[in-house]
Structure 1
Amino acid sequence: MNQLAVTESDLHAYVDGLLSDARSEEVAAYLAARPEELARMAAYREQNEGLRALFNPVLDEAVPSRLRTGLEDRASSFSLAPSYLRFAAGLLIAIVSGAGGWMLHGSAQTGSLAGSTIKNSDAHIALTGFARQAAIAHGVYTPDVRHPVEIGADQEDQLVTWLSKRTGADMHPPKLGKLGYELVGGRLLPGESGSPVAQFMYQEAGGQRLTLYVSTDQAQNKDTGFRFAQQGAVNVFYWIDGKFGYALSGGVNKAELAKIAHVVYEQLETKPQ
């Protein structure tokens, strides 16, 4: 029987102790022959242990009353909408829970996105539906040098008109220039049910790219929480707002992607949909 190739997902699952004994032995043998990879996995394991030691003691603590009062006062003074507060809370939970040891990996045996899960002590949340489609689309199109988008940012008006017409919704791309990311352009993609979805691509000076995937057929999706997922080197923040599903994907670290997701959400909240 041929041994399955060792994927990046296998390596992360090995570090987290999620592989079967047999697969773990295969990955250990793979690493033993590759000192640099072995050192990289050792660094990941050390980082995980450090994060657990730092955050596990406070995960179950109640939020101090002075902090709850401060948040309520600030929300009142700025007249924040309830949906914005839900987003902020979800964003905070996603970030903190990640520091507490939530990890998302592909299937241990195939490396497939279809088997990806966010894992904590209470639940397994599958990376499925539009978020999975977004992660796949990000991986397919961001490496393309010549044709990463169908319509470039130099024709943004045409892009907006075309995507809005095809999706039946306002598809103005958020402005991320203040964060160092400029619009590259966008494209139309098929969604889960065949309905059209939009993908906007951004790039910063160093060449790092982000994609924002927008689906308009999520009205029946009740999983409205703000989620974080990680597949290999790609991080994803995704959420649902009414019929819209949004997924922001990129190779940047979790904290930076969360900051960008926050700005995206703010801009989307100010536009009629």
Structure 2
Amino acid sequence: MIEPDEHVLQAYLDGELTADQAAAVAAWLETHPQAAQKLSQWRSQDQALRQLWALRQKEPVPTNLLAAVRTAKRRGLPTWLQQSMAAGLVFALGLGGGWYGQQAYQGAHPMAAVDSLPRQAAMAHVVYSPDIQRPVEIAAEQEGQMVAWLSRRMQSRIEPPRLAQAGYELIGGRLLPGNQGPVAQFMYHDASGQRMTLYVARESAPRTDNGFHFASQGPVNVYYWWSKGWGYALSAGMPRERLLSLAEQAQRQITPD
């Protein structure tokens, strides 16, 4: 079988192939363990989306927003694009109205009950980290352009920390909406393809508790902290101890103007 591209693999994952096509992909995956591992990661991320944002029965999505997703289906847009639109819809509702899934923060610092920073960072992580086509707006290859653009929009010098020595390479960054204005998200991945995101947001008032805080929502662990009026949150589906080590390395490098 010719090596399937990402669209075919995504269709296989979504159950959209014929029986013969699915059997051919399954046979090909048996001899390509790296591709099989990538597919397993996609499946885990898809499950994470469902777990993190299971809709509450008493909180229906507004009908005009659902209509936009239905229109996309009628127009025959690719499944991955329909899913991205749906995830983006959930993300917008979560940021705008404080609406989120049934999973509560577990084993977290007491402040996690009132801090919006880790919740928003976890939402952004789960929405964008599975994206195959465009996980970032500007790739690491154009890092100078990315830093200049994000710094201009954030009105402060914003640079991604270097985590290559810890095994994480920068993929790139994007701009997101936040409660107090624009938010920057930097995305990293390791050799296995596992992704991690750093969420950088301006706080409405300086915080005095500058230490690390931990929050866990569903499958996403988050370490977050404040410094000089800025909030930082590192999110990933990895063990807490490993994430803390990476957060400590990131914190040492961050010096906003």
Q: TM-score range by the shorter chain?
A: 0.5 to 0.7
1:36-82 C-alpha deviation (Å, 9 max, x unpaired): xxxxxxxxxxxxxxxxxxxxxxxxxxxxxxxxxxxxxxxxxxxxxxx
The one of 229, 234, 241 aligned to 1:255: 241
Question: What amino acid sits opposite 1:238 in the alignment?
Answer: Y
Unpaired runs of 5+ in structure 2?
Answer: 1-49, 53-98
1:116 pairs with 2:104:
yes
Going from structure 1 to structure 2, the CA distance change for 1:135 and 1:165 (only over 3 Å counts) comes to: same
The one of 180, 184, 187 aligned to 2:171: 184
The one of 169, 179, 183 aligned to 1:197: 183
Unpaired runs of 5+ in structure 1?
Answer: 1-6, 10-110
1:209 pairs with 2:175:
no
| In 1: Cα distance, 2:163 partner to 2:227 partner | 20
CA contact (8 A) 2:107 2:216 kept: no
CA contact (8 A) 1:184 1:202 kept: yes
CA contact (8 A) 1:218 1:242 kept: no
Alpha-carbon RMSD across the aligned residues, in angstroms, is: 2.6
Q: Which runs of 4+ in 1 moved over 6 A?
A: none
- What is the percentage of aligned positions where both structures have the same residue? 47
1:166-219 C-alpha deviation (Å, 9 max, x unpaired): 0011111000000111000000000113x0010000011101000000012343
SS at match of 2:174: strand
CA contact (8 A) 1:219 1:242 kept: no
Q: Could you tell me which residue of structure 2 aligns to residue 242 of structure 1?
A: 228
1:207-257 C-alpha deviation (Å, 9 max, x unpaired): 100000001234345554421111122110001112100000001111110
Going from structure 1 to structure 2, the CA distance change for 1:146 and 1:217 (only over 3 Å counts) comes to: same
Q: CA deviation at 1:114?
A: 7.9
Number of matched residues?
163
CA contact (8 A) 2:214 2:221 kept: yes
Question: What amino acid sits opposite 2:246 in the alignment?
Answer: I
Going from structure 1 to structure 2, the CA distance change for 1:123 and 1:265 (only over 3 Å counts) comes to: closer
Q: Give the alignment's TM-score, normalised by structure 2.
A: 0.57
SS at match of 1:117: coil
Question: What amino acid sits opposite 1:213 in the alignment?
Answer: Y
CA contact (8 A) 2:106 2:217 kept: no
